[in-house]
Amino acid sequence: MTEPAFEVRDVTFRYQGVTALDGLSLRIGHGRRVALLGANGSGKSTLLRVLDALYFPEAGEVRAFGARLDEAALAEEADAFAFRRRVGMVFQNPDVQLFNATVFDELAFGPLQLKWPRARILDAVHAMLAHMGIGHLKDRPPHRLSGGEKKKVALASVLILDPEVLLLDEPTASLDPESQSQLIETMIGWGGGAKTMVLATHDIDIVEDVADVCLVMQHGRLVAEGAPADILYDVELLRRTGLIHAHRHSHDGQHSHLHHHLHRARLG
Do β-strands 213-218 and 33-37 pair in parallel, antiparallel, or remain unpaired?
parallel
Q: Rounded distance, CA 143 to CA 141, Å? A: 6
pLDDT at 119: 97
Domains (ranges, CATH) in the chain?
Answer: 6-261 (3.40.50.300)
Does 2 score more than 80 pLDDT? no
Average pLDDT over residues 26-51: 95
- Residue 86's closest CA among 105, 126, 114, 46? 114
pLDDT at 116: 94
Average pLDDT over residues 221-239: 94
Q: Rounded distance, CA 153 to CA 157, Å? A: 6
Tens digit of pLDDT for each residue in 192-228?
777 999 999 888 888 999 999 999 999 999 999 999 9
Window from 20-29, 62-71, 170-179 with minimum mean pLDDT: 170-179
Tens digit of pLDDT for each residue in 243-262?
887 654 455 555 444 344 44
pLDDT at 184: 87
Direct distance between the N- and C-terminal alpha carbons of the chain, in angstroms, rounded to an integer = 38
pLDDT at 66: 93
Window from 146-160, 165-179, 227-241 with minimum mean pLDDT: 165-179
**Alpha-carbon separation of residue 73 from 70, 81, 82, 255 (angstroms):** 5, 11, 11, 63
pLDDT at 252: 54
State the maximum Cα–Cα separation within the chain, in Å, rounded to a whole number: 74
pLDDT at 251: 52
DSSP annotation of 67: E
Average pLDDT over residues 8-21: 94
Confidence band, pLDDT 50/70/90 cuts, at residue 174: confident
Does 267 score more than 70 pLDDT? no
Average pLDDT over residues 174-192: 83
Cα angle vertex 203, ends 202, 207, to 5°?
A: 110
Q: Rounded distance, CA 111 to CA 258, Å? A: 54
Does 56 score more than 80 pLDDT? yes
Contact 21, 11 (CB under 8 A): yes
Average pLDDT over residues 171-190: 84
